[in-house]
Structure 1
Amino acid sequence: MVVVTVVALMSFLGVLTETSMNTTFPTLMKDFHVSLTAVQWVTSGYLLCAALVMLTSAFMKRRFTNRTLFTWAAALFIVGDLLCATATIFPQLLVGRLVQAGCVGFCTPLMVNIIMDVVPRSKLGTYLGLANVLILIAPALGPTFGGAITAFASWRMIFWLTLPLAVILLICGQFLIKQYTATSRYAFDWARFALLAAALTSLIIGLTAVGDGNWLLFGGLMVVLVASAIGFAKLSKTSTRALFSLTVFHQPAFLFSFLPYILLQFANVGINFLLPNYVQGVFAASSFVGGLVLLPGSIFNGLGQPLYGWLLDRFGGKVPLYTGAALFTLALGAMAGWGPRLGVVGMTLAYLVFAIGRSMAFSNSVAYGLKQMPKTLQSDANALYNTGQQVSGAMGTTVLALLMTSISRPGWHQAQIISAGSALAFGLLTASGLVIWWLFFKLLHAKTDY
């Protein structure tokens, strides 16, 4: 756990700076004289780059040592910190954020891979839960940390304050991180990686284009996405170079844990954007109250991880997966059906139930899936879990933002528009909860292949 903690803390710093920057957008727009569309790439670009790096994690695990990967991750974070802290023009800040994305891209899969190397299957849920505490607390602390720093000092202090911590972790990693599996020389599959990168980039930019009403750009990017996906599938049939193994999709345990995992992440990131805006628009609450609505649920989301993992190891998959899916679906159903009547306190309590259920199902879907897969495919599955998490999270905000303002009638005021659109968004997420129930049923009845 000492080694895992060092890697998890490095990933924690990456997630902390990511979520801290979300509160600095108005200040950045003023300081660099850029639009909201441009400044959003500080987060969207970060998530996209992290996803692309995570795609390579299966190859990286087999090719390079754990210490080498950690050193790269820490070095990228430190270089990114310096670029961002000293940025005088917006492109420098953006480049710094894209460089820093490599930290989370390397460290999050590395943490899980180390756990899979040394922890027996019977304790996998508990240890993954313990490791996830640090990473999942970061999104809860990030907005408060970033808001306070920006209000009382400068957004640049976000990077100056995390810099010495990153240096300390880099030094600790050189002494603590060991190698638990053999590495070999592999030729990296640049062609397939480029096609996947083109597909994911087209998807994220295309969704942003929908938000801007640019349907022509969206259509063109969807053509690029489909063409890239077809090209990737054809190359995968003959390629002998390493990226990740597509045979992992033949594993029912992977397929029926991966799909609910990305649906849960889609809902989580989307509703974290939706709820603060909902209570401000419908109940005329302040931005401070809008942020507080998420706080109790976010705390339980992170601190409950060890308990949720223990439930999996102690009682098997049925208790945490079914219970988590039930709480998730019921909370969203309440928001969809009675949202305007719940008030700020009611929405806060509904989100608390949502967060407990989502967190219980989210981490355990991966842990249960990994338990049921052959060890030879676990690193490939881990690469796809992490990539899917980043991509679905980026999609969640865009899709729910579109739904939030999608319904309007003559004479309606802003609160009515937000209430009606959000009810549609909550309804979509409730339907996804029912789909997750069915996927968990298939997962729990899938054959074990190890």
Structure 2
Amino acid sequence: MTDKANRFVSPDNHLLHLITETNPSLFDEYDLKKSGLCLLDWAAVAVAGSREPCAKILLDHAQQEGGEAQSTLIGTGKCGTARQAALFNGTAAHAHDFDDTYPAIPAHTTVPVASAVWAAAERDGRTGLEIITSVITGIEVICRLGLALCPDHYRRGWHASATLGAIGASAACAKLHGLKGKTIMDALELAACRAAGTKAAFGSMAKPLQLGQAAALGLESADLAQRGFTSSKRVLNAADGFYALHSNDFSDAPLKKPLGGEFHIHGNHFKYHASCFLTHGAIEAAKTFFADNGGHPPTSIKQIHVCGHPELLKVCDNPGPQTGLAAKFSVQFCVALALTGKDTSALSTFGKHLTRDSELRNLMNKTTLEASANLNHEEAEVTFSLKDESTTKIFGEPVSSTEPDEERPAIEAKARSLCEPVVGKEGTSKLIQLFSALQTLDHIPDYSGL
């Protein structure tokens, strides 16, 4: 066996053990509360995204395709097949790039997993606790694989939310289906051999579609494995398998970590700015400067220098975005918004009309970028040089709480802001109540009317 082949001596048993042995007896109150918040956040961004053009196209496609009404297409008042629902809900939930993220990879973990699990659970009549268990399992798989493969996986241009999301979704659905042994690995391998997604799609409809496809692919892979569809055991860890093709940094250490400690869902961060998470540190720094300036537009600024993680420059260096989607991936635009007091949590702020705003354009033209490997993905140091030759340097990082009880009011407020324009106050209250009590439910209520 070659040295390269030796690098991939079977971590399969670790994944199989993780999926098989994760169960509610390992969960503490934090796990249950955090998973409920992640699912509420997912549902809220899906409802809001259901009105976006990409979601409307998928809805039209599903209606033309037809099929049994098995699962809810969230926010539309309609149902489709479970696969259609996973594709639609996963795409809609990422349409605004406002869903939670795991910064260390980085990847959006809840959307591909929850979209797949929820569609299958509606179709198959699963309990709330089974949903939570499957979601925690799927997110754990994404995070462990991400830590095993990154940073090279993401650095190469792979969209980890999609590539790893498909495998995590298949693991979650395998858990929901009660699959065992080799059948679980067949599900993962069927997903891995078809998983895809590139960062080159960022700022377009194709980015959220990649997460919808990951959800649908994960569900389909588990469904096929349950029916006896098999794969090759070489797909993941052979010298020409998924791990080797996707990273030169692969280490199975994260996969070997024993169960029983803190689940990686603890590390999911909720987003309070409707833009790429890489921009959030710079936004927070600019918001601080704006507040320190008395809440007035900073007419005295001569130059803005943003120092961030190298990925910030690769993904979000766009000094002249032309569309609202592209603006979410322009750190120059996001900083300008914050410096002029614009609400970066409002979906309408990231509209095409503001990309032409002369005041924002002026600030964008004054902004320069620098990469620093000493900063995390979500951090930034922003230096403001003023016309009086003084400078101010501000460190920024996203604001979040480590305690679900402390974060719940903010997530519920976010859900109301996103959902009420689409499903009204009553529909929004139903969603909030659903995910507050999910672990106690023996079935999912009929929310097809939402």
Q: Is TM (by shorter chain) over 0.5? A: no
Which has a greater percent of helix? 1
Could you state the TM-score of these two structures normalised by the residue count of structure 1? 0.30
